[in-house]
Structure 1
Amino acid sequence: MLTDDGGCFACGPRNAFGLHLEFRTVGDEYLTSFTPASHHQGFAGVVHGGILTTVLDEVMARFLWARSIPAVTAEIKVTLRQPARIGEPLTVSGRILRDARRLILCQAEARRADGTVVAAAEGKFVRVGPAPPGGA
């Protein structure tokens, strides 16, 4: 069984170098806010695509765990549609598209305040065991 010790790069409160993402459920979506800083940069003034991929992956994976579905990422496909800028607040949403016994298909998007999608992802997640007692 996988356990959370607070050290996750994306959401862990004990990771001094992490993103410290916090999540909330709104309807059938899981949301987080992320404002990239200069140390998240790839090209000048632009967020590194790997950082965006991490946030997209995390919002999907955490949503499953929040619903007591212990699963891990098996495959992720990311489309970087527009440059995300350093200092530009983003809202990242995740949702479950299909839950088929062992494989779960999810989708995520990172949007600017005006609603423009800067990055999108589809992820395939594989169950890793029974639901933890009392949820994730």
Structure 2
Amino acid sequence: MQEPRCLQETYAPHNACFGCGPSNEKGLRIRSFVQGDKVVADWTPEPHHEAFPGVLNGGIIGSLLDCHCNWTAAWHLMDSQGLERPPCTVTMEYTIKLRRPTPTDGPLHLEAWVVESDGKVVTVEGQLFAGDKLCDHCVGKFVAVEPGHPAYHRW
């Protein structure tokens, strides 16, 4: 049985983004899947992602949540506007709250959902869990870019 394709592999297989690009062999390669009203992902850290033994680096946490929430915004715009492909979206702003040390001894689970949208700018909340413990929380705004922006049609 073939593994299901995530949003990134389906819509941006050649994207080289450090956080979510399927074609970046040294990147995090987040794989985001639509699940009802949320977009979810599971990701397993490796020792080189640590800040110190057993604890995930804060910058990696930011990248995970930033990219996962960005894909949630892109999916929302595609779905709500009946588009064939998600528009290219970029991060306008995001805030990460590191609630507790994020362990690196097993898989992590990300969830994100849209809290507001005006059709171009989408506000998304995201969470990162280790087992049943909420470790990190994100709120971000993501915007669909227009022709002339360096990210336009980057996928």
What TM bracket, shorter-length normalisation? 0.7 to 0.9
For 2:66, the aligned partner's letter is: D
Query: 1:63-82 residue pairs with structure 2 within 5 A?
Result: 63-66=72-75, 67=78, 68-82=86-100
Q: How far did 1:69 drift? A: 4.2
1:96-116 C-alpha deviation (Å, 9 max, x unpaired): 1100243221100001222x1
Secondary structure (helix, strand or coil) at the match of 1:42 reads strand
Q: 2:144 matched to which residue of 1?
A: 127
Bigger Cα displacement from structure 2, 58-67 vs 43-52? 58-67
Distance 2:88 2:15 in 1: 16
Bigger Cα displacement from structure 2, 77-86 vs 5-14? 5-14
Q: 2:4 matched to which residue of 1?
A: none
Q: Unaligned 5+ residue runs, structure 1? A: none
Q: 1:30 matched to which residue of 2?
A: 39
**Partners of 2:128 and 2:135 within 8 A in 1:** yes
Q: Relative to 1, partners in 2 of residues 1:44 and 1:19: Cα closer, same or farther, differing over 3 Å?
A: same
Query: 1:58-97 residue pairs with structure 2 within 5 A?
Result: 58-66=67-75, 67=78, 68-97=86-115
Matched, 1:19 2:28: yes
CA RMSD of aligned residues (A): 2.2
Distance 1:92 1:40 in 2: 16
Percent identity, aligned pairs only, is: 29
The normalised TM-score by structure 2 is: 0.75
Matched, 1:112 2:118: no
**Partners of 2:128 and 2:134 within 8 A in 1:** yes
**Partners of 2:103 and 2:130 within 8 A in 1:** no
**Partners of 1:7 and 1:14 within 8 A in 2:** yes
**Partners of 1:74 and 1:126 within 8 A in 2:** yes
Matched, 1:99 2:117: yes
Distance 1:69 1:60 in 2: 14
Distance 1:72 1:113 in 2: 29
Distance 1:127 1:26 in 2: 22
Aligned residues: 129
The normalised TM-score by structure 1 is: 0.84
Distance 1:20 1:87 in 2: 18
**Partners of 2:109 and 2:130 within 8 A in 1:** yes
**Partners of 2:72 and 2:112 within 8 A in 1:** yes
